[in-house]
Structures are given as C-alpha cells and as structure tokens.
Structure 1
Amino acid sequence: MKILLISATALLTASELFFGTIQSAAAATLSWDWNYTGSGIAANGTFSTNDTPDSSGFYLITGITGTRNGATITGLQPTGTPIPGNEPFNVDNLISLNPQQLTGDGFGYSTAGGSFVSPFYASFLATPGYLEVFSEPPIVSGFQNLRPGSELPVSFSAQITSVPEPLTLIGSFVGASMGVCLSKKLKQSSK
C-alpha cells in the first residue's frame, strides 16, 4: 500500500510538473508595503492580502501591521463592519495596484492607544482623493467621536513587496525523482 501511495504521489508530482500546476505554499498571500501622510498624520506598515484580485482588480486585505503617529497598529477592522465611532460606514478592506488604490469604503484598523482609523477614497470630493477618518476614545456610537480634524486629506501609496512564485522546474523534478527513488527502495526492502 505504501509503495502504491508513494508511486501515486510521484506520478502526481510529475504530471503537475508537466502541466505546470504546482504552486508554492506561500501562493495564498501577497505582502505589501503601505504608507500615507497628511497634516499631522504619518502611518505606514505592511498588509497581507489574498493573491488573486477580484474582477475590479482589488485584493482583500487579511492582515495588517505598522504604526500611526508612533502608535502600534493592533488589528484589522473586520470586513463589512464600521470602525467604532464611524457607523454606519462599513470597511471593505480592499487594495489595488490601480491608480485608485482604495475604494470608497477603505480599510480600517485599531491602534494601541484605543483609537480606530479608516483611510478611504473620497470620490465625492470636488477633486477626488484619499481621506482618513480618525476615531478616539471614549468611543460612542455615531459621529460623536469625530471631532474637528477627524477626517483629513492624506496621500496614500501601497505596493506589493513579495509575490509568490511557482515552484521551479528543478525543484519539481527533484521532488518527483525522490518519490520514485523512495518507491524503489521500499520495493527492495519488502523482498
């Protein structure tokens, strides 16, 4: 049974090699560097996203790290929910390589100081651009957290820093060869 399983694995590896379908284990995510600045605002860090854009070219942000004005970012706001204090505006956590990198719903995150932040693309402005909504404690539902200066223009930029690549032809060949050799060794030892 072991020989059959190993032979099947070697055959599968060889066929994937031939048809070019093997992907590395890291193929599920992309890493991005991002930053934005504005009057009294400096935020930067990294995103993790899925590796396939939607039909509009947007990738789903699945993780975030970084800082905003020196405060550590502690988490990504769940997709489809508003940052506290900015109800009812849900974030979609989407990013793109297109010139307009964020949607009108933007992404959201929390900071170590208990604040919540949501940069987004404001297409409704006379000159469309990016804005940042900033909500700080004490958090109450609605717009009471949004004091003057809580929604400011920012310059936003993000780029992919690591792209998963398919396994190399050599790596696939070595994997298939190891399976065949192991199969032969098991056959010999079972005699």
Structure 2
Amino acid sequence: MKNIVLFSSTILMTTSGLVLGKVEKSLALTFNWSYSAPGIEASGTLTTNDIIDDNGFYLITDITGKRNDEIIIGLSPTGTSIPGNEPFELDNLISLDEEQLTSSGLGFLTSEGNFINVFFADFLQPPGYFEIFSAPPFIPGFENFGLEDSELPVTFKASLVSVPEPSTIIPLGLLATLGFRTSFRRKLAKTKKQ
C-alpha cells in the first residue's frame, strides 16, 4: 500500500510538472551597442526582454556603458521624455532589423546629470540616427535648447550578444525520477527478502 501511495505521488508530481512547469517567462537578451559622431563616442550593453512585438522590436529594460567620459547610470523610463525634449516620449525599443531604433528611441542618464535620447528619424530625408543631448539647467520644451544642448546625427549600431536557453522543468522531472527510482528499489528489495 505504501508503495502505491509513493508511486501515485511520483506520477502526480511528474504530470503536474509537465503541465504546470512549462510556464513561459520572459528571459533577458543582451546587445552590444555603440554610436559616434565628431566629438561623441558612446558604447555599452543593453538588456531586453525576449518578447518581440508585432513590429519586430524588443523592450529595453537596462543599459550600461559610457558616453565620452560620462558613465551611463540608468535607462530613462519608457513613456517619459528626457528633460528639455518634451513632449517626445521614449519607447526604449530595439530591433535586429536595419532600422534598430524607433523615432521615439531610447533614453538614458549619465553620471554628470545629462540626459540623452538616441532615435531613428524615419521622418527625415534621408532618414538617420540622431542624438539629443540635454544638460542642466533644463528648460522644458524641445524648442528651448540651452547652449550646452545639441541634436546631432550619429552612426548607431547594436548586435545581439547572447540568447538565453529556454527554461526547463528539470528540477520537477529529476525529483519525480528519484522518487520513482527509490520506490522501485524498495519494491525490488522487498521482493528479494520474500
């Protein structure tokens, strides 16, 4: 009777692991990125989720790197504008296609308190990548550039570095296998004693 209970619980764990253990979860992708223009060198890594949207873009969730001598300390929140570039909101999306950023682009903050928005201006002829650099003091509105602010064309590129392995249900399967093996050994040992 004890073996039947153990065997039944092993089967139950295995089947529930197969049914419930296959929960899809978003995994991180890593991109190396860089852009440059005369007097500007920026590079680092981007972390995204692994869910591609209907337009072929991944959502950027983190950024690291440097712009010139300034350390990038964080990604600007999606749906917000960098100070001095209102009302243009960031979408923080990236694609593996030729046009890797959208016209909303990605935004980040540097260690010197400056904000940057890099985007693809598909509305210009010819289209191209641009960097908006906004430094304190911030004057609200994109038409109010300060002397230290700029909007310059840049050469941008990003490449996928790592693709994570899909999650598996190995822990549940391993536990079920060990339970079955133990049950089988006990049954075999009991049979040999008789």
Normalising by structure 2, report the TM-score.
Answer: 0.79
Whole-angstrom distance in 1 between the partners of 2:119 and 2:45: 17
Are the structure 2 counterparts of residues 145 and 6 from structure 1 closer, same or farther at C-alpha, using a change threshold of 3 Å?
farther
Larger radius of gyration: 2
Asked if residue 180 in structure 1 is aligned to residue 184 in structure 2, the reply is no
CA offsets 1:120-151 (integer angstroms, 9 cap, x no match): 01122221100000000112212334447600
What is residue 161 of structure 2 aligned with on the other side?
161
1:21-170 matched pairs, under 5 angstroms: 28-143=27-142, 144-147=144-147, 150-166=150-166
SS of alignment partner, residue 176 of structure 1: helix
- 8 A Cα contact 2:82 2:115, kept in partner: yes
- 8 A Cα contact 2:139 2:146, kept in partner: no
Q: CA deviation at 1:86?
A: 0.6
- 8 A Cα contact 1:119 1:132, kept in partner: yes
SS of alignment partner, residue 178 of structure 2: helix
Are the structure 2 counterparts of residues 146 and 50 from structure 1 closer, same or farther at C-alpha, using a change threshold of 3 Å?
farther
Whole-angstrom distance in 2 between the partners of 1:139 and 1:5: 64
The AA in structure 1 aligned to 2:61 is T
Are the structure 2 counterparts of residues 186 and 129 from structure 1 closer, same or farther at C-alpha, using a change threshold of 3 Å?
same
CA offsets 1:149-190 (integer angstroms, 9 cap, x no match): 60001000011111012358xx94x862442223554795xx
Normalising by structure 1, report the TM-score.
Answer: 0.81
SS of alignment partner, residue 138 of structure 2: coil
Whole-angstrom distance in 1 between the partners of 2:134 and 2:9: 57
Q: CA deviation at 1:4?
A: 6.0
Q: CA deviation at 1:29?
A: 1.4
Are the structure 2 counterparts of residues 153 and 59 from structure 1 closer, same or farther at C-alpha, using a change threshold of 3 Å?
same
What is residue 191 of structure 2 aligned with on the other side?
none
The AA in structure 2 aligned to 1:151 is E
Are the structure 2 counterparts of residues 148 and 72 from structure 1 closer, same or farther at C-alpha, using a change threshold of 3 Å?
closer
Whole-angstrom distance in 2 between the partners of 1:10 and 1:16: 10
Runs of at least 5 residues in structure 2 that lack an aligned partner in the other structure? 187-194
The AA in structure 1 aligned to 2:33 is W
Count the aligned residue pairs: 182
RMSD over aligned CA atoms reads 3.2
- 8 A Cα contact 2:64 2:73, kept in partner: yes
SS of alignment partner, residue 104 of structure 2: coil
Q: CA deviation at 1:50?
A: 1.1
- 8 A Cα contact 1:32 1:160, kept in partner: yes
Whole-angstrom distance in 2 between the partners of 1:22 and 1:123: 38
SS of alignment partner, residue 13 of structure 2: helix
- 8 A Cα contact 1:49 1:59, kept in partner: yes
Q: CA deviation at 1:12?
A: 4.0
Q: CA deviation at 1:9?
A: 3.1
Whole-angstrom distance in 2 between the partners of 1:131 and 1:123: 10
Whole-angstrom distance in 2 between the partners of 1:161 and 1:150: 31
